[in-house]
Structure 1
Amino acid sequence: MSFKDLQLNKPILRAVTEIGYNDPTLVQNKTIPLILKKKDIIVSAQTGTGKTAAFALPILQLLFDRQDASKKGKKIKALVVSPTRELAVQIGEDFNKYSTYTNLRATVVFGGTSIEPQKDILKKGVDILIATPGRLLDLHKQDIVNLDYVETLVLDEADLMLDMGFIDDVKKIERLCPNDKQTLLFSATIPYKVEQLANNILNTPERIEVSPNASTSKNISQLLYYVPKRNKIELCLHLLRNNIKGSILIFRRTKFGVDKLEKTLLKNGYKVGSIHGDKSQTTRQNALNEFKNGHTNILIATDVAARGIDINELDAVVNFDLPNIPETYVHRIGRTGRAKHTGLSYSFCSADEKTYVKSIEELINIQIPIEEDHPYPLDPKAKPIIHKSKKTGSKHKKGRKSIASKKKKKRWY
């Protein structure tokens, strides 16, 4: 099936062809016809399956016939709610690419940056709004955003949205939109809480599942390194010098860990950037742009900051810290080996992470090959280090009562 078979009009097809899309992906094939029929849908699809185009193209098609309202007269007819700023920016860029040959206007609003420029754009009128929940509700409170005309509501990366604690915001946003809107829910996984949300806000939805979450691409070579936690940085430097080349995405569990590794790699002369939730939006966007443009070839990130970022032709992914949720491992390494390219995945496992490996291997149904030939092997008998306080009992010295207080005194009771 080609994009022409999906009932998209010529201006949209022209933009899609210029971007270099030839045939629709599986999620696009299944989703676009249903959205054009105005059905509510719940889609389970990972990052990298082409799901942004799966909802963006049909939304542009549905709005195309009413695109010529004067700018001031434009009302928000499609709303995309996204959990992170990076993902919102990415979706906004995609909408702008696909709508090149239309008069439809899309804009992005997110927190962590000045609200005034966003207000100015919204006052001029837009057809499609992409927003993070907090900033959207702020703008609504200030009467800058009117959701009374929304025809299509998209909740993207719903599982991450709920993990980040946005459940109440999402419900509030849904209630602010008209009752007869079309709702499209996209999620990498469909845990119970996403299922509950879908039951509450979707109207007899069609379900689409694209590739089970357990599948890892055959184009990715996976390697596992058992290493003491204290030697992970040395192992990382050793592999960067000898094995890992090209564009590399390194995952760490914490923001502190991201900063620490970035400082070490910079000291060792590597071109490296980083993204995590405590960095300002501008800093994160600059780090991402520098990585995409090739000014840096290493990007260190936490899972939340990296979710949904579209980076093409990544050579390798390094799991510096193994994730405790096995599906996260699949999402991480799925960023390399895309579109018929080959990719490499390197995972560092310390003694306290051995149980994570077991869960991951059960999910992907593959035993990850172990690389033993490296300078920092983990003693097979090594047990996880459990940090215990050496102090026991009260922190106060014994016998700290004064002599006077120890004397038997007559009590009044």
Structure 2
Amino acid sequence: MSSEQAHRPDVASAVRVVVKVGSSSLTLPGGGIDVSKVDALVEVLAAARDRGRQVVLVSSGAIAAGFPALGMARRPRDLAGRQAAASVGQGILLHRYEEDFARHKVTTGQVLLTVEDLVRPKSYRNAWSTLGKLLALGVIPVINENDTVATGEIHIGDNDRLAALVSELIRAQALVLLSDVDALYTAHPSDPSARRIQRVDDVEALDVDTSRSGSRVGTGGMTTKLEAARIATASGIPVVLADSGDALAAITGQDVGTYFVPSTRRRPRKLLWLADAAAPQGEIRIDVGAVHALRDRKASLLAVGVTEVHGDFQAGDPVLVIGPDGRTEGRGIVSYSHDEVREMRGRSSAWLAREMGQGASREVIHRDALVLTRRRRPSADKKPAPTGEGPVGQPAPAGERAAGQTAPAADRSRS
């Protein structure tokens, strides 16, 4: 790889940076805070702020810091136990941050968020305003998932995803993901043939083994970090995944870890919200012809391609679009309620015009309100780049080809 590729000027020059650190990079293997690790991280972030950079820290570690203080022998698995540990550990962790940053004459501010805070318009605006003001005042916000009050939100990858959403929220210029894994590899790091992937041009085209990558004290595995990278790069934000011990090199754009190239075609903020933060209110299942129309022709979803409707949604709600193989094809803002879509499913545009009038919308989901999350199969002559030497990709599963070999949804009807 050339030195030009290895150097990351967009990361090095980023003024507003989000740094996410995982539990295992802050705590001891058996739980509790690892003071030396926290001290080292704080020194790097304080120095970055002193050089004029605006730093937001998304920190895991509350549960891992808290469960030993409650006399628990291991990280709790039940929701109530995790929430209790988070309640205690959040205070312990924040106190450590406050003391360490104070030695560098840096003020910190605690911000607890859930994904819902980044979905509701009023909460979104409040979070944006608060974080912007803190950064303008030279404060380093310390953000964590609000584990104490969250319910289904406490699961693998919350803070990885949260860091990416926060990066979108504050319009960050770089996202640095720090963990106990020093990079993305072509195979599991324990495999002797595994090679570090230095640069990824397309997160969704990766062909790597992300299994067995979770930490003993944290909940985030490599899969969740790739999802965070996908979210951020789609917003035009470069991402670096690196070992927490390489924090200084990562934040200054050196050749450590794995660098994810930002997209040059940023989606509108409405679609970013739809793809990454909005909670689906239902599911619309479609046939192979509709899959072909959506993915290959960039068409709107018509009623004729709908086979099943699940959930209790209203017009304007976000829903999942599910293909015939059960995999999610995308997310969209539906034009009709669940009852209306059930009545319309499988019907042709001619039938809709007769029954609902010529002025009725034909689209169940308009293409401008649809985000596809499952990729088209690359052309046969487009082969993956060599592993470890640039972008790493894989063709889509062979089964996806079937969608493109059937008649378009608009050509079929049960009317």
TM-score range, shorter chain: under 0.3
Name the TM-score, length of structure 1 as normaliser. 0.27
